[in-house]
Amino acid sequence: MTKAAAARQFNTTPKTVGKWVDRFLAEGVDGLRDRSSRPLSSPVQIPPATCDAVESLRRERRTQEHIATELGISKASVSRILERRGLSRLSSLEPQEAHPRYERERPGEIIHLDIKKLGRFHSVGHRVTGRRTGYCSSQGAGWEFVHVAIDDHSRIARADILPDQKKESAVAFLVATIAYFKSLGITVERVMTDNGSCYLSKAFASACKQLAVKHIRIKPYSPQTNGKAERFIQTALREWAYATAFEHSKQRYAALPAWLHRYNWHRPHVSLARKPPISRLGLTGKPSASFKPHSENGPTPPHSSSSTQSNDTPRCPLGSIATTGTGLMLAP
pLDDT tens track for 137-185: 656 678 999 999 999 999 999 999 999 999 999 999 999 999 999 999 9
pLDDT > 70: what percent of the chain?
A: 78
For position 130, what pLDDT does the model report?
62
Taking the C-alpha atoms of residue 58 and residue 53, their distance in angstroms, rounded to an integer, is 8
Give the lowest-confidence range in 29-38, 129-138, 178-187, 246-255: 129-138
> What's the distance, CA 54 to chain centroid?
37
Upper half-sphere CA count for residue 135 (Cβ side, 13 Å): 14
pLDDT above 80: residue 249: yes
Q: How many angstroms separate the Cα of 318 from the Cα of each of 98, 131, 198, 228?
A: 40, 51, 21, 28
- Mean per-residue pLDDT, 287-310: 47
Give the rounded distance of the alpha carbon of 241 from its chain centre: 12
pLDDT digits (tens, 9 = 90+) for 95-135: 766 666 678 889 999 999 999 999 888 776 665 656 655 55
Amino acid at 53: A
What DSSP character marks residue 176? H
- Asked if 111 and 181 count as a contact pair (C-beta separation under 8 A), the reply is yes
Average pLDDT over the chain reads: 83
d(CA 108, CA 130): 42
Please classify residue 100 by burial: count the beta carbons closer than 10 Å to its beta carbon, then call 0-12 exposed, 13-18 middle and 19+ buried.
Answer: exposed
What is the pLDDT confidence band of residue 326, given thresholds at 50, 70 and 90?
very low
Cα→Cα distances 143→120, 164, 240, 252, 328, Å: 5, 8, 17, 13, 20
- What H or E segment, with its residue span, contains residue 12? none
Helix locations, 94-239, DSSP H: 126-129, 167-183, 197-200, 202-210, 227-236
pLDDT reported for residue 297? 62
Residue 18 has pLDDT above 70, yes or no: yes
pTM, full prediction: 0.62
**pLDDT exceeds 50 at position 329:** no
Higher pLDDT, 287 or 276: 276
CA separation for the pair 237, 118 (Å, rounded): 10
Can you give the pLDDT at residue 271? 87
| Range in 11-15, 199-203, 223-227 with the lowest mean pLDDT | 223-227
CA distance 263 to 231: 13
